[in-house]
Amino acid sequence: MKRCAKHSIWTRCIRPHLTQKLGLSGLILSLALAAVPAAAQKKYSPGVTDTEIKIGNIMPYSGPASAYGIIGKTMSAYFRMINDNGGVNGRKINFISYDDAYSPPKTVEQARKLVESDEVFLIFAPLGTASNAAIQKYMNTMKVPQLFVATGSSRWGDPEHFPWTIGWQPNYRAEARIYATYILQHYPNAKIGLLYQNDDFGKDYVLGLKDVLRDKYDRMVVASIPYEVAMPTVDSQVVAIKSANPDIFVNIGTPKFAAQAIKKLAELDWHPVHIMSNVSASVGAVLKPAGLENAKGILSAYYQMDVTDPQWDSYPGMQIFRAFMAKYYPEADKSESGPLTGYNLSTGLVYVLTRCGDDLTRDNVMKIVANMDFEIDTYIPGIRIKTSPTDFYPIEQVQMMRFTGENWQLFGPIIDGHAE
């Protein structure tokens, strides 16, 4: 990383392909470059002035999915950094983030507060499948962007019926198709035991497995047991699945429950092929609490660099991310993947706001997000953010990975999990 004369360590010298591949530095430097000429007419929706852009967010800082709260805290730190560097086209970001405790009724309450009382420009990266499902109709009725929903449910990519809602990460159904393809290639005669969260999140994975296994599904899946997020543990579910004697255990749990399942397998001295959803791939939030040795050999698929993997240390994007964390969120656990998730989502938002220039209307935001094509330099090289007016799935590629006991090791090609 070299130091430009006019900028601090947060910026790198401008690159010719800045509009194609964006890291933190690219965004900061592009803020001035993307400014609309002074003569252009300014157009604003509620939540925007000449000096401010009001952004709303809803995050489970408490409750059963509170491990995700670190994502919202990183976003807050990211926007402080953006504001310290002059904001977006001279406008500071006023980031308002509320806790919904992963409870859909509370999400509805917070969304109404953000839209009707705080009058935010848009709601950015609200987290949770059931939570977002609860506000999707409201957001679209109010014509307020529900932007880069932080859940991989396939329902966020339906511009025909919900033109104001768009996801971000690879959708769960596509991820499950990749696991099913891997199982058929490597374990075609295996018996599968399935633990899944009993909501849209878990059911999307089941649908993805069925997409690929088709008529083999009923023969291969010998146990399929759901759990409710209100349950204290999934220990009894894991025991029940083991009793069916499957060769492969598919762990479709959010962090708290995924960690419990890993721990329970170790207690039972049960060692099936273990495939786990990537939402629980955080070394700090999931694998450490479960015991790193217990997690050894787990398979998953990912699109974001693993913050614990030294192979990324020399990459400029990772160096800048770590410098940002050291200055703006030094108390965060460096082994957690949540901060990089929040950082990358925020990079995407600032990319969109920058491209809006002085046309900061909700209509224009959705026009911009329906025509994205760029890379972020803290994603696995080759992963691209790309949309069209009929394709509201920004990221559709992942790479398989295996946990070594210390970090995740990628293997095989970048795979596209696009719908059949």
Structure letter (DSSP) for residue 91? B
Q: How far is it, in rounded angstroms, from Cα 274 to Cα 295? A: 9
Residue 27 binned pLDDT confidence (cut-offs 50, 70, 90): low
Query: Using one digit for the tens of pLDDT, what is the confidence trace for 208-245?
Result: 999 999 999 999 999 999 999 999 999 999 999 999 99
- CATH T-level fold of 21-170+310-389: Rossmann fold (3.40.50)
Check if the beta carbon of residue 346 is closer than 8 Å to that of residue 148. no
Residue 38 binned pLDDT confidence (cut-offs 50, 70, 90): very low
pLDDT > 50? residue 269: yes
Q: Are strands 52-59 and 92-99 parallel, antiparallel or unpaired?
A: parallel
pTM value is: 0.83
Of 9-13, 153-157, 209-213, 318-322, which gets the smallest average pLDDT?
9-13
pLDDT > 60? residue 8: no
Check if the beta carbon of residue 92 is closer than 8 Å to that of residue 83. yes
| Torsion angle of the four alpha carbons 96, 308, 260, 345, in this order, in degrees rounded to the nearest 10 | 30
Query: Using one digit for the tens of pLDDT, what is the confidence trace for 353-410?
Result: 999 999 999 999 999 999 999 999 999 999 999 999 999 999 989 999 999 999 999 9
Q: 44 in helix, strand or coil?
A: strand
Domain ranges of the chain: 21-170+310-389, 172-302+400-416
CA-based radius of gyration for the chain: 21
**Domain 172-302+400-416 class in CATH:** alpha beta
Predicted local confidence at residue 5, as pLDDT: 35
Closest Cα partner for 308 from 328, 286, 324, 290?
A: 286
Check if the beta carbon of residue 234 is closer than 8 Å to that of residue 195. yes
Matching fold, domains 21-170+310-389 and 172-302+400-416: yes
